[in-house]
Homo-oligomer: A and B are copies of this chain.
Amino acid sequence: MDTLTPVSACRYITSIHLTTTQPTEFIDLTERVQQLIARAELRFGIVNVQTLHTTTAVVVNEHEPLLLADFQSLLEAAAPSDGRYQHDDTSARTVNLTDAERPNGHAHCRALLLPASVCLTVTSGRLLLGRWQRVFFVELDGPRERDVSVLIFGEAAR
């Protein structure tokens, strides 16, 4: 347990652009976030990884392909893609309708059950993660063009 002596502030905001290719997809952002922390020269602080969409999420879990398939089954059970969603009834809806409207009530419902942002600890210039922890962007209504913001905030390495 150490009390940290502040050196100088580090504030860095950027975003990661992603092109998803599947309706549901888990994209491992861990290395990209780690590289941004290194580039920002953050030593101690937080990184806030926040999706900019309402049918996506940011989660931390293990990167094991069969487990990611289990997650997809879990989300399908929680909010089935063939379920009935009032949001998809464009004859009844009057709000936020666009030309590109597509039925995605299930994706919003899945997003409600998952975090929109994850705040993670940075120490000694590295994301503090356990052995199996990886940071994922979760696409729930793909394929789409997506953006995730990354705020890096704390004490600079020099």
Q: Are A67 and B119 in contact, CB atoms less than 8 angstroms apart?
A: no
Give how many copies assemble into the complex.
Answer: 3
A22 within 8 A of B: no
A60 within 8 A of B: yes
Interface size class of A (residues with CB under 8 A): 35 or more
Residue from A4, A40, A89 with most neighbouring chain B CB atoms (10 Å):
A4
Q: Are A50 and B151 in contact, CB atoms less than 8 angstroms apart?
A: no
A75 (CB) vs chain B CBs: closest residue: B112
Contact of A155 among B8, B9, B62, B116 (CB under 8 A): B9
Beyond A53-B130, A66-B87, 10 additional pairs, beta carbon < 8 A: A2-B14, A13-B123, A46-B119, A54-B130, A63-B96, A64-B96, A67-B86, A70-B109, A117-B121, A119-B119
**28 intermolecular pairs with C-beta atoms under 8 Å apart:** A1-B12, A1-B14, A3-B11, A3-B12, A11-B154, A13-B44, A13-B121, A45-B153, A48-B119, A50-B119, A50-B121, A51-B130, A52-B131, A53-B133, A59-B112, A59-B116, A64-B93, A66-B92, A66-B95, A67-B108, A70-B85, A70-B87, A70-B105, A70-B108, A96-B132, A113-B113, A119-B119, A121-B149
